[in-house]
Amino acid sequence: MTAEPHRGAGPADSGPAPRIDLFLLAGLFPGRTHADALGAAVDYAMAAERAGFDGVWLAEHHFSAYGTCPSAVTLAGHLLGRTARLRVGTAAAILPTRHPVALAEETALLDAVSGGRFDLGVARGGPWVDLEVFGTGLDRYGHDGFAAALDLLLAGLSGAATITGDGDRFPFREVPMVPIAARRPPVWVAATGPSTVELAAARGLPLLLGMHDADNTKTGMLHRYCAHSAGAPPPGHASTHLALVADTVEEAETVLRRTMPGWLATAGGSPRLDGTAPPRRDLAAYLEHLLAIHPVGPPERCVRRLAATIGATGVRRLLLMVEGAGEPARTLANIERLGREVLPPLRRLH
């Protein structure tokens, strides 16, 4: 990302070529089993490597058909073994449900055996029943609990030979780190609110920006990031987008209006431990919002919309969510068309 995101990068600037990755949720569509959804996600990742994508990012969800992958790190390890070139990342591992030292060990392991192709993205998640099931508790979701876990994770990836627990949340004696991280693997923070943006900025960690925000909202988040950073140049943030290539806008929107509402309805159904009611979302209106801001339709329109994001935000790493197409055959065709008709002209914009 450029040093001053509010100015934008612009399609004609001389920055590095955009990096374009796939974003996979392993979503469960009607008539499919959990194994079908996970197998399809693997197929999509393999197709992404053939199509020329730079990387693949994997979502993590518990107890939800919206995403059937409960361990993005585990699936990332599988895909790193199945691919030769792709970077594979988590978008994101839910840090409040994990012990940060265990996650640091697994990250160092994948970084070592993959030749440095692993990116760790972590998220705060929500005040959901996951925290009860895994015994970590609501405190770990709170700002201070999440910050403490993130700092311990970073300590485990610092290359230090040993690590010691700190405070009441992680009371343990000094132990050796095995394997020791040869370098700190890339760590990203998924952010949807100002407090998480500020926390990531204070630690110099890049943001994973979500699919639901328009470019102006993302630009505002990057303004906040720069205001709370320690003065160092901002790292390369990433922006997530719904993407479907079709011959016409009408064709693409018709497909997504048929496939996505039922899938979106499965998100956010977990019980909340903080006693608050889950937000009510008009799914039809939300889908129309996504259609209005994301690369959906003919290849030229997809390129223009993604170029507009680069120009408005300066973000040069784009994550494309392709599973909205629903059927595996249609999703594989979408990946192939993105690789052939969208990625090359978009990369030429630098």
pLDDT higher than 50, residue 235: yes
pLDDT higher than 60, residue 12: no
Number of domains in the chain: 1
Average pLDDT over residues 203-230: 95
Bridge partners (DSSP) of residue 123 are: 94
Q: Determine the Cα–Cα distance for residues 260 and 287; give it in Å rounded to an integer.
A: 8
Name the residue with higher pLDDT: 273 or 3.
Answer: 273
pLDDT number for residue 309: 97
pLDDT number for residue 278: 77
CA nearest to 317, candidates 212, 256, 238, 247: 238
Work out whether strand 87-90 and strand 118-123 pair parallel, antiparallel, or are unpaired.
parallel
Q: Determine the Cα–Cα distance for residues 170 and 157; give it in Å rounded to an integer.
A: 16
pLDDT higher than 50, residue 8: no
pLDDT higher than 50, residue 3: no
Q: Rounded to two decimals, what is the model's pTM? A: 0.94
pLDDT higher than 70, residue 16: yes
Q: Determine the Cα–Cα distance for residues 96 and 99; give it in Å rounded to an integer.
A: 8
Q: Determine the Cα–Cα distance for residues 111 and 109; give it in Å rounded to an integer.
A: 5
Average pLDDT over residues 174-179: 98
Percentage of the chain exceeding pLDDT 70: 95
pLDDT number for residue 232: 67
Question: Mind listing the pLDDT tens digit for each residue in 119-138?
Answer: 999 999 999 999 999 999 99
pLDDT higher than 90, residue 281: no
User: The tokens 């949720």 sit on which residue?
Assistant: 25
- Residue 168: pLDDT band with limits 50, 70, 90: confident
Question: Mind listing the pLDDT tens digit for each residue in 157-167?
Answer: 999 999 999 87
Average pLDDT over residues 144-157: 97
Average pLDDT over residues 340-350: 93
pLDDT number for residue 64: 92
CATH number for the domain that contains residue 190: 3.20.20.30
Residue 216: give the domain boundaries: 5-347
